[in-house]
Amino acid sequence: MKKTAKVKTFSPTEKNYVNIATGTYRAGELKGIIKINSQSCVGCDTCRHVCPADAINGAIGVAHSIDEMKCIACGQCLINCPFGAIEQLSFVEEVMKNLENKEKTVVAVIAPAVRVAIAEEFGAPPGTLTVGKLHNALKKAGFKIYENNLAADQTIMEEGSEFIAKVKYWLLGERSEELNKMANHPLPHFTSCCPGWVRYAEIYYPGLIPHISGTKSPMQIAGPSAKTWAALDIWKVDPRNVYTVGIMPCTAKIFEASRPEFKSSWKFLKEKGYIPEDTPPFPDTDVVLTTRDLATLLKMKGINPLELPEKENETETEIYTGAGTIFGNSGGVMEAALRTVYYILSEKEPPKWDFYAVRGHTDGLREAEIPITLKSGKTIVVKAAVVNGIKNHLDKIVKDVIKGTSPYHIIEVMNCPGGCIDGGGQPVNPMGTSWIDPLLPLRLNA
Ligand code: SF4
Ligand code: SF4
Ligand code: SF4
């Protein structure tokens, strides 16, 4: 069995923390998450062809560099650099220290795409599913688990409700104090759980912000849930000692965790008197490890998930539905949303829970029309689009939205080709590039 390629990492320094708002960053955010090592770069230009944000500079044959103000930290350049010249900021050392601190409750929030990729780092064939083995490995390493998929179930209830309110206001003309808030949130509705896409929109298409869902990503729902409900009611520990680690297929999630608005657990716990008024602010998600980082950490601890049993005793924070699981693939968020929207608007189960039309990680753009018969007897048709791979498939969709000619009501956007399954934090194949070849269209047209 061939091993995955090794990706170099570096620990954060003061230079990575933004102290005062600069360019496209706000105070508190992390920058420089992905960097090119000029000593290793041969200037082959591959990275520029996969970068969705036009953030890479340098002439062919000369060492390239990343413009941090344009970069959305997606890591697509890293997983496609054939020379291993691109490195990633990593919190493995910090997490190791927290695992050794007996006062800390260290919580792993595991994204769906991690459980089908981590096994590759231990020599198993790509796509080997290891849910129980992974949970057992994390527990052996000292983590408690708060399933990202459980939070994804909450995300979809929230996002589904938000979209339904928009449908009622904009398509059905219903008015109420609650629905009238949607006057400032027009259709089409864009999903918000991809932080690469959200930062891309903020930098390049700020006019789209009113269209983007206000629902937090599953990781940012899991963090505060772990620090409030789970800390107080399940684990019965001091929430100030809960240290949440997002374990993600994604390098943009490292950035998302640092966004200053994500401190809702600290605010809630203070307001309700669970922690003293003068407690310094703490984030909902303390740090993020990529799939690769987790493999490094487990190897440092001498733990191989493949040697552990698949069976496990699930706790309240480890259970979830299939809707939460499919977030890892392009179309998954849309399918989960459509199931909820159909059920709530029609008050009936859909003829099939599988919305095959929005599935498929190999198409950069998929479209679907879903007829829903309302309780009143009226039928509406929800028009949906699913985009994966901002680089090649987003512009036309967005331009139509800006012109006001978009035919869609709801649009899922995932930055990475195929969705999170090919995220910038996933294992890199033995050839030193990503498993999904985003340059294929270029090669075919060459
Ligand atoms: S893909 Fe790698 S080697 Fe090629 S230019 Fe980019 S950083 Fe340099
Ligand atoms: S991390 Fe993403 S946005 Fe940043 S330079 Fe690499 S490909 Fe471009
Ligand atoms: S598609 Fe997934 S892995 Fe890629 S940037 Fe978005 S959230 Fe991260």
pLDDT in tens, 257-286: 999 999 999 999 999 999 999 999 999 999
Are β-strands 144-145 and 56-57 bridged in parallel, bridged antiparallel, or unpaired? unpaired
Cα separation, 134 vs 288, whole angstroms? 17
Cα separation, 167 vs 217, whole angstroms? 21
158-213+323-418 has CATH 3.40.950.10 classification: yes
pLDDT at 127: 80
pLDDT at 128: 86
Count the Cβ atoms, other than its own, within 10 Å of residue 292. 30
Pocket test for ligand 2, best of 57, 68, 76 (most atoms within 8 A of CB): 76
pLDDT at 436: 60
Residue 177 catalytic? no
What CATH topology corresponds to 92-150+218-321? Rossmann fold (3.40.50)
- Binding-site residues, ligand 1, Cβ < 6 A: 36, 41-47, 64, 81, 83, 85-86
Tell me which residue of 10, 72, 18 sits closest to 424, measured CA to CA: 72
Count the Cβ atoms, other than its own, within 10 Å of residue 128. 16
3-state secondary structure of 421: helix
The Å distance, Cα 102 to ligand 3 centre, comes to: 33
Indicate if 158-213+323-418 has the same CATH topology as 92-150+218-321.
no
Instruction: Tell me which DSSP letter residue 155 carries.
Output: H
Interhelix angle 332-346/148-166, nearest 10 degrees? 50
State pLDDT tens for residues 181-193.
999 999 999 999 9
Tokens of 180: 């009238």
Residues of the chain with pLDDT under 50: 440-441, 443-446
Report whether 317 contacts 146 (CB < 8 A). yes
Every domain of the chain and the residues it spans: 92-150+218-321, 158-213+323-418
Are β-strands 144-145 and 189-190 bridged in parallel, bridged antiparallel, or unpaired? unpaired
Cα separation, 177 vs 384, whole angstroms? 27
Q: Output the CA torsion sign for 25, 264, 195, 183.
A: negative
Count the Cβ atoms, other than its own, within 10 Å of residue 164. 17
pLDDT at 442: 52
